[in-house]
Amino acid sequence: MTAVDVPAVCGDRERVIGWLQEYGVYVGVAALLVFNIAFTPHFLSVENFRTQAVQVTPVLILSLGMALVIATGGIDLSVGSVMALAAAMISLYLGYGPVAAILVALVAGAAAGAVNGALVAFAGVQAIVATLAMMIGGRGLSLVLLPQLDGIRNAGIRELGAGDLLGVPYLVWVSAALIAVVAFVVRRTVFGRRLVAIGGNRRASELSGLPVRRTLLAVYMLCGLFAAVAGVLATARLQASDPNSIGQLIELSAITAVVVGGTPLQGGRMRVAGTVAGAVLMQLLVSTLIKHDLPPSWTQIAQTAVIIAAVYVARERGRR
């Protein structure tokens, strides 16, 4: 009897793991929503959702760029420092008007990404090393450019950080637009197909005539650009440029969101909706614990548990 039962159980277990890999992150988000609706006072209010959406914005935008990089089999540790670089640029170039300042910040982000990409694609440096260098160097450069916190008194920037359109904050509009752009790029463009193929098998992609290096360069540039956008938005919300503390350790939150969202760290696969859900899941988790007055250490432990669960599920899939 048992001999007959075992394979059935194994099959079920495998199916459950596979299903969790695919939809686990949505189940997590749904569970947290249900829990909060039941136990958290004032959770179901427009104001609360607005706050959550605004708070998740930087990590969400970073994780989109990060997911592109991870899908190629790389990683980008420098996104937090690129945010700081963008913040410093805003402060330095605000004299030319908010639009010019934001453009300079975005160009700086793309340039930092280009350096990462060139090191990875052309010099053959490992992604983790190249972007670690940029993580340290980018932060240092921002602090040289802007040694201390600089308050920003500019109507345009303040409007970007606090204003809304049709009752929805600009910050949320921007992240929604970027989600749409990334989803389009991944699903519909040749570039999107290429980056996933490169992550899946780089040698095969090269032999198939794909422009592997150019694609990698573009992917890291996009990631840098997205980090700069996140830096601009965070600066606008804070009404201050603070290169010292902005984006500290945020690269880890972004990587967590991507992994929890079901994009495997070894690359070859890219999930846009899952990445968004991953960022939302981590945001809800933190805010739930804070609202229930649990100390920050609990938050860290809960995050750890989610990461381990996500990696465990991914490992099971890889072993099949």
Q: Which residues bind another protein (CB under 8 A)?
A: 188-194, 196-197, 200-201, 203-211, 268-269
For tokens 């695919």, the residue is 22
Residue 168's DSSP bridge partners are: 165
Residue 65 CB, nearest distance to another protein (Å)?
A: 19
CA-CA distance, 80 to 58, in Å (whole number)?
Answer: 10
Going 233 to 236 to 241 to 242, the CA torsion angle's sign is negative
With respect to another protein, which residue has the nearer C-beta, 51 or 208?
A: 208
Question: Which is closer to another protein, CB of 189 or CB of 245?
Answer: 189
Please return the burial class of 137, using the count of CB atoms within 10 Å of its CB with bins 0-12, 13-18 and 19+.
Answer: middle
Supply the minimum distance, in Å, between the C-beta of residue 129 and another protein. Answer: 17
Which one, 205 or 235, has the nearer CB to another protein?
205
Q: Minimum Å distance from CB 203 to another protein?
A: 5
Nearest approach in angstroms of CB 198 to another protein is 9
First to last CA, the chain: 25
Our CB check for another protein shows the closer of 194 and 237 to be 194
**Residue 144, token pair as written in the block:** 């040289």
Closest CA to 63 of 228, 248, 275: 275
- Is 54:169 a contact under the CB 8 Å cutoff? yes
Tokens of 140: 């240092």
CA 8 vs CA 4, 135, 232, 314, 319: distances in Å = 7, 49, 53, 22, 18
Q: How far is the CB of 53 from another protein (least distance, A)?
A: 30
CB of 118 to another protein, least distance (A): 19
- By beta-carbon proximity to another protein, the closer residue of 18 and 156 is 18
* Identity of the amino acid at 92: L
Least distance (Å) between residue 163 CB and another protein: 34
CA 274/CA 148 separation, integer angstroms: 37
Nearer to another protein, 156 or 200 (CB): 200
User: Which residues are bridge partners to 150 per DSSP?
Assistant: 241
Q: Which is nearer to another protein, 88 or 221 (CB)?
A: 221
CA distances from 156 to 98, 102, 108 (A): 6, 11, 20
Q: Alpha-carbon distance 316 to 14, whole Å?
A: 8
Q: Let me know: does 278 contact 257? Beta carbons within 8 Å.
A: yes
Minimum Å distance from CB 220 to another protein?
A: 19
Q: Tokens for 31?
A: 């569970």
Q: CB-wise, 71 or 146, nearer to another protein?
A: 71
- How near is the Cβ of 31 to another protein at its closest, in Å? 28
Rounded to an integer, what distance in angstroms lies between the CA atom of residue 48 and that of residue 286?
A: 14
Cβ closest to another protein, residue 50 vs residue 269: 269
